[in-house]
Amino acid sequence: MRLSATISVCRYCLKCALPFRGHDESETSIYKGNFLKLMDFILFHNEELRKLPKAPGNNKLISSYIQKDIVKCFKQEVLDCIFKDIGDDVFALLVDESSDVSKKEQMAIVLRYDNAQGLVKERFVGLVHVKDTSSLSLKSSIDSFFSKHKVSMQQLRGQGYDGASNMRGEFNGLKAKILEENESAYYV
C-alpha cells in the first residue's frame, strides 16, 4: 500500500510537472515540498494506509532515491511505448546541442514519425550528456542511444539541426557523418 501511494504521488508530480522536493523537509518545516505534502494528503484521506503499522527506520518509501527509481521506471515505460509505436517503420531525427548551467555539454534528441493511425508524432526521447559537441562525439552518442533502444540507423529517413557548422557541415558535420552511413537520411 505504501509503494502504491508513493507511485501515485510520483505519477501526479510528473503529470503536473511539479518539483518533488522542497528546500526544508524537516519535521518542523511548514512546507516540505510537493511530494511529502501529497503523501500527507493521501495518508489523511486513506484510513487503510493510516492503520498500517509504523514503518521501521527509513522504510517509508519516501526517500529521494525511491522517487528517482520510480521516475526512471516511468521514463523507461514511456520510451518503450514510443519505440513500440515506431516499430520497424522509418523516422526522422532532430538534434540540438548546448551546454547546461554547469557548463556540461548536452544533446537533446527528438524523433519524428508517423504512427499506425497515420498521425505525425514528434517525441522528445532524451537528453544525452556528451564530452564535447564535435560531430564525431555527437554521432557516437546517437549511435549509442540507437543501440541502447534497439533502433537501426537504416530506419532513419530525415535529420534536422540548427545552423551550427558542427551539425550541418558539408564534409565533417553530423549531417555528413550520418549520410555516410545512411544515404536515405535526408537533411532538412
Domain of 121? 87-187
* One domain for residues 63 and 93: no
Name the more confident of 74 and 170: 74
* One domain for residues 118 and 73: no
What letter does residue 80 receive in the DSSP assignment?
Answer: H
Write down the pTM of the prediction.
Answer: 0.77
pLDDT in the model for residue 28: 83
Partnered with residue 124 across adjacent β-strands are 110
Cα 173 from Cα 137, distance rounded (Å): 11
Percent of the chain with pLDDT over 70: 93
Q: Give the count of domains, the chain.
A: 2
Cα 30 from Cα 39, distance rounded (Å): 15
Q: What is the DSSP string of 27-50?
A: TT-S---HHHHHHHHHHHH-HHHH
- The C-alpha cell of 173 is what? 558535420
Cα 8 from Cα 11, distance rounded (Å): 5
* One domain for residues 100 and 120: yes
* One domain for residues 177 and 98: yes
* One domain for residues 91 and 179: yes
* One domain for residues 76 and 91: no
What letter does residue 92 receive in the DSSP assignment?
Answer: E
* One domain for residues 98 and 181: yes
